[in-house]
């Protein structure tokens, strides 16, 4: 189809006209019966309605006449649309550092513009522009009343910003009028647009539009833009590139492919392609194919310092003053940037990024440094290398959305301090499922995958423990945290329905710039300052357009902030997690620091501050790929933060944080006392408190402990108030309480302490009343007498015994080794002692009642038996019979039979069995009264899985000992 005939546009116009004419929409009057009038009532009301109608009519007429007069008055001074080609001389705009002497970037006044005819522009360039900017271009008369009405609704009623300009109006705004944002200018724009539509054909207007509209980077017109961004004429670009060019005019700085919003540009390109398909310019298949095209942009200019910061400033000012003013207005922009600090930041990031890429698979990094006293940006490094397209170097990470990991925790704990919790408040760091939804549990873990039991908030925050942090945000309240986040200047956490308790672990995206400024609130004890990048702007005539003014407000009580500062600057408190020597200190200079890491290692953060400077660092990959496991904030981001802060602070005066006053609340759990644990000496027999008469062997230490989560003691809505009468009403109570008890039981089971711990029981208060002097048994030895010579191979002992509670048992010990036990009256002894050598021996008799009130008597006797076969040295030997060394067993093999072969077994009084593991020796049990050459013993209880060294030691009646060489046994328990 010949392009000069523009027949497709005629068809397009007919399409829209015919579509309106053939529409099926129609209005039908509804049939309804009229109510009968009541002429006897409300006559006054009818008169009021009549006068009110007259008033409205008169008011409307006057308003219309006034509007006509106002429009006529404005029309007197309207520029002539025929003078479109007469342009002002563009002047160079310069952006300076804070000294006003170093030029960071010069936006040349030389406008790059190459005029082209509509015949030179591919159809899909025109289609893309019309589809996104003015789909009714060929049917309206320069203005769109429907678009104006829609804009009024969104701008006024909804508080949103939307445009209603047609292509003709956009042409007028950029080529005839200024970009001032006033209603007067908008009215002039509409009037001139209407006049243009009377003066020029649609195609002429469209051609002027493509030659006049700014596309960014001093490129005016579509040809200059095509050359600038793609390095080729507009006649040679494809559909994908055409959609990109059509996306730029709405906000060239915002959608620039060289700024931090490249993803937004691509998103807009995709939207335009879909609109073209919807409006039937192209097929959906063509749109989808164009989306897959890999765009290659011309490299940006390298004649620029602090490029991310410059582009950040340029985008802000373009939004405020318009692209034309910023790029051609001859402005002198003095920024807040400290070039000395900027160059240090760039150098450190460049050096550290090489090692991070090699060792941690982290190709990029960003840093922003602010003066918290003013909110001024001192340094901004948005990527490792702005000009490196392989790592998406033009992306400005300081203004991009990323998950902050644990670096959100200080905000949460600050809210908890406001509510009455203290740094000493105890939270249980035990693995907890925080979701009552069985289908979707939420069970976070700590970085070290360990549980630390009851910990203070100080320890939890300093060591960045995750589980206590989730409990803290529940206690503080998610909405309260989001309220404070809003006060701290976060602009990205507005959709509150998205966030739950995971917010404390980085479940919401933030910008490094805003995140760092929020930490500046901590640095200045609760004073928020607006982020500032510009100190002063003057126009080409030297007139001041704007100048820095401090914008601040108090957003939080400094008492809470001082507690946060005190914790984050306490290196001793975090040493258990980070080590005493870490990257989070600056020698003796006080500095508060917090790290953050997402659980998939996509983002690593370190943000730290002194009272006068706050710096945030991010490390990761812009394409969101994971770093290597272990690439935490304290590992990859903290060294950058440390080196930068160390160099810029140098020998500047040391500043100190104010010490907090931590006042006791009077509630034990809030003040750090989980406090019902008592360790007491208990009589094993009675379960009462041991007395001075309780036998030593019957005394054991028991710890009585009643573990509870903080929800047992605290009402979430009133933590300083009374303890809840029914804590189970809290939806989180059972979830927390069950895990606390399970943890305590596990700790008790794995404890090697001799002290037993009793959970949930009330400790006894009564004292042992059965082990008393009155209950001690009485015993006398009738025969033999002390020092008596015994010539018989049998020992005959006669006793007289009695006890208030009755005699339960009598033990006979020879040479302190148990020889015989009897529980039968009259408790006498008549047993062979042919295993003893002739000579002196000790006999000890122990008489006990049913609760082990005991009385002991002893004597010496001289054994002299003729032809005594045991008159030798009492030597003996042992060897293992079973199990064999290296045997593997399981828990189902227990009790495990242990067997020894004994030589001269009659000389053996007792054999003790042991096992060793990890340098720890534990007794299994003992075999006594050995009377055969094969000694058997049952090992009753299976130990934990592992490799053990099994040994035995025999003791003779003459108290000689013999220890066997150990054997190895492997235990593999079956669950």
- Residues with catalytic roles: 133, 406
List, in order, residues 6 or more apart from 464 with CB less than 8 Å away: 406, 409, 447, 574, 577, 594, 595
User: What SS3 class is residue 107?
Assistant: strand
- Across 747-825, the runs of DSSP E, i.e. the strands, are 756-759, 778-783, 788-790, 794-802, 809-814, 817-822
Taking the CB of residue 274, how many other CB atoms lie within 10 A of it?
17
Task: Note if the bond before 883 is cis, omega within 30 degrees.
Answer: yes
Q: Write out the two tokens for 173.
A: 């705004």
**Are the C-beta atoms of residues 375 and 520 closer than 8 Å to each other?**
yes
Answer whether 371's CB lies under 8 Å from 379's CB.
Answer: no
DSSP state for residue 723 in the 8-state scheme:
P
Give the whole-angstrom CA distance, residue 851 versus residue 855. 12
- Structure-token match 């002992």, residue found: 797
| CA end-to-end distance (rounded Å), the chain | 81
Which run of H or E residues covers position 239?
A: helix 239-247
Cα(675)–Cα(666) distance, rounded to whole angstroms? 13
H or E element, residue 518: helix 512-523
DSSP for 438-468 reads SSS------TTS---EEEEHHHHHHTT-HHH
Residue in the block written with tokens 């490390």:
619
Show Cβ contacts of residue 239 under 8 Å, excluding neighbours closer than 6 positions.
124, 128, 273, 282, 286, 290, 293
Q: Is 876 exposed, middle or buried (CB count within 10 Å of its CB: 0-12, 13-18, 19+)?
A: middle
Name the 3-class secondary structure at 794.
Answer: strand
Mapping DSSP to helix (H, G, I), strand (E, B) and coil, where does residue 919 land? coil
State the Cα–Cα distance between residues 315 and 333, nearest whole angstrom.
13
Tell me whether residue 229 is exposed, middle or buried, using C-beta atoms within 10 angstroms of its C-beta: 0 to 12, 13 to 18, 19 or more. buried
DSSP 933: S
Strand blocks (E) in 337-446: 364-371, 376-381, 401-402, 426-429
Q: Which residue has the tokens 């108030």?
A: 721
Among 499, 329, 280, which Cα is nearest to 411's?
499
* Residue 554, beta-bridge partner list: 527
User: DSSP letter string over 551-574?
Assistant: -EEE-S-HHHHHHHHHHHT-HHHH
Which residues neighbour 259 within 8 Å (Cβ) at sequence distance 6 or greater?
253, 311, 315, 394, 396
The tokens of 480 are what?
């309260």
How far does Cα 926 stand from its chain's mean position? 55
Q: Counting beta carbons within 10 angstroms of the beta carbon of residue 44, is it exposed (0 to 12), middle (13 to 18) or buried (19 or more)?
A: exposed
Q: Are 569 and 657 in contact (CB under 8 A)?
A: yes
Dihedral (CA of 270, 275, 281, 286) sign: positive
Q: What is the DSSP letter of 785?
A: P
HEC letters along 808-846: CEEEEEECCEEEEEECCCCCCEEEECCCCCCEEEEEEEE
Whether 221 and 115 have beta carbons less than 8 Å apart is answered as yes
């Amino acid at each position: 189809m010949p392009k000069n005939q523009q027949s497709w546009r005629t068809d397009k116009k007919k399409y829209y006209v015919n579509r309106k004419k053939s529409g099926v929409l129609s209005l039908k009057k509804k049939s309804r019966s009229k109510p009968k009038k009541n002429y006897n009532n409300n006559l006054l009301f009818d008169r009021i309605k009549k006068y009110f109608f007259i008033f409205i009519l008169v008011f409307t007429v006057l308003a219309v006449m006034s509007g006509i007069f106002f429009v006529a008055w404005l029309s007197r001074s309207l520029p002539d649309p025929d003078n479109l080609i007469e342009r002002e001389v563009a002047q160079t705009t310069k952006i300076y550092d804070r000294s006003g002497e170093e030029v960071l970037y010069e936006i040349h006044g030389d406008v790059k513009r190459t005029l082209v005819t509509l015949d030179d522009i591919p159809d899909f360039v025109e289609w893309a522009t019309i589809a996104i900017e003015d789909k009714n271009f060929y049917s309206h008369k320069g203005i769109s009343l429907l678009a104006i009405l829609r804009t009024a609704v969104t701008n006024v009623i909804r508080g949103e910003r939307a445009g209603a300009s047609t292509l003709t109006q956009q042409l007028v705004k950029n080529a005839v009028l200024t970009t001032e944002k006033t209603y007067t200018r908008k009215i002039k724009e509409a009037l001139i647009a209407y006049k243009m539509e009377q003066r020029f054909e649609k195609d002429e207007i469209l051609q002027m539009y493509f030659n006049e509209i700014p596309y960014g980077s001093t490129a005016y017109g579509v040809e200059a833009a095509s050359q600038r961004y793609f390095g080729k004429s507009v006649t040679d670009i494809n559909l994908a590139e055409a959609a990109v060019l059509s996306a730029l005019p709405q906000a060239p700085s915002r959608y620039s492919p060289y700024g931090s919003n490249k993803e937004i540009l691509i998103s807009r390109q995709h939207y335009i392609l879909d609109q073209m398909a919807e409006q039937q310019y192209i097929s959906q298949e063509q749109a989808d194919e164009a989306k897959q095209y890999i765009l290659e942009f011309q490299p940006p200019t390298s004649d620029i310092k602090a490029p991310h910061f410059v582009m950040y400033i340029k985008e802000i000012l373009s939004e405020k003053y318009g692209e034309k003013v910023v790029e051609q207005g001859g402005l002198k922009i003095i920024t807040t940037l400290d070039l000395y600090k900027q160059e240090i930041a760039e150098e450190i990031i460049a050096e550290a990024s090489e090692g991070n890429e090699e060792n941690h698979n982290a190709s990029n990094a960003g840093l922003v440094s602010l003066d918290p006293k003013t909110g001024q940006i001192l340094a901004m490094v948005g990527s490792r290398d702005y000009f490196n397209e392989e790592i998406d170097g033009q992306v400005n990470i300081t203004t991009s959305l990323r998950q902050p990991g644990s670096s959100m925790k200080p905000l949460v704990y600050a809210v908890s301090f406001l509510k009455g919790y203290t740094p000493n408040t105890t939270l249980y760091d035990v693995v907890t499922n925080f979701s009552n939804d069985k289908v979707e549990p939420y069970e976070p873990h700590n970085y070290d995958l360990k549980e630390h039991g009851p910990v203070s908030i100080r320890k939890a925050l300093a060591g960045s423990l995750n589980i206590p942090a989730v409990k803290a945000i529940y206690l503080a309240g998610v909405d309260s945290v989001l309220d404070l986040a809003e006060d701290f200047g976060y602009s990205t956490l507005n959709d509150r329905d998205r966030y739950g308790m995971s917010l404390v672990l980085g479940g919401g995206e933030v910008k490094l710039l805003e995140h760092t400024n929020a930490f500046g609130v901590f640095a200045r004890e609760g004073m928020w300052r607006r982020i500032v990048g510009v100190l002063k702007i003057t126009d080409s005539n030297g007139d001041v357009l704007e100048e820095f003014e401090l914008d601040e407000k108090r957003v939080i009580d400094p008492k809470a902030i001082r507690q946060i500062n005190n914790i984050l600057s306490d290196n001793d408190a975090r040493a258990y997690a980070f080590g005493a020597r870490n990257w989070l200190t600056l020698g003796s200079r006080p500095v508060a620091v917090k790290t953050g890491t997402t659980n998939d290692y996509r983002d690593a953060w370190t943000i730290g501050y002194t009272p006068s400077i706050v710096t945030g660092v991010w490390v990761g990959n812009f394409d969101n790929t994971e770093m290597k496991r272990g690439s935490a904030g304290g590992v990859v981001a903290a060294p950058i933060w440390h080196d930068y802060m160390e160099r810029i602070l140098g020998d500047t005066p040391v500043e100190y944080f104010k010490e907090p006053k931590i006042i006791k609340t009077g509630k034990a759990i809030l003040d750090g006392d989980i406090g019902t644990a008592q360790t007491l000496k208990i009589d094993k027999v009675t379960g009462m408190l041991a007395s001075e008469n309780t036998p030593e062997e019957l005394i054991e230490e028991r710890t009585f402990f009643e573990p509870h989560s903080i929800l047992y003691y605290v009402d979430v809505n009133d933590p300083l108030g009374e303890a809840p009468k029914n804590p189970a009403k809290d939806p989180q109570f059972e979830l927390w309480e069950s895990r606390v008890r399970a943890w305590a039981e596990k700790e008790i089971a794995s404890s090697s302490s001799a002290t037993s711990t009793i959970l949930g029981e009330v400790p006894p208060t009564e004292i042992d009343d059965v082990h008393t002097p009155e209950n001690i048994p009485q015993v006398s030895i009738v025969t033999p007498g002390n020092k008596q010579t015994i010539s018989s191979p049998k020992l005959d002992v006669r006793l007289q015994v009695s006890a208030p509670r009755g005699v339960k048992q009598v033990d006979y010990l020879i040479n302190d080794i148990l020889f015989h036990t009897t529980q039968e009256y009259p408790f006498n002894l008549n047993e062979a002692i042919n295993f003893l050598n002739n000579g002196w021996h000790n006999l000890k008799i122990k008489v006990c009642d049913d609760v082990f009130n005991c009385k002991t008597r002893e004597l010496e006797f001289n054994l002299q038996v003729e032809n005594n076969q045991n008159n030798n040295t009492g030597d003996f030997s042992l060897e293992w019979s079973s199990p064999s060394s290296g045997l593997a067993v399981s828990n189902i093999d227990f009790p495990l039979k242990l067997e020894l072969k004994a030589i001269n077994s009659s000389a053996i009084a007792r054999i003790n069995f042991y096992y060793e593991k990890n340098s720890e020796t534990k007794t299994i049990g003992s075999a006594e009264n050995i009377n055969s050459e094969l000694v058997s013993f049952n090992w009753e209880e299976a130990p934990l899985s592992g490799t053990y060294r099994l040994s035995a030691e025999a003791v003779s009646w003459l108290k000689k000992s013999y220890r066997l060489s150990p054997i190895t046994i492997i235990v593999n328990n079956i669950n």
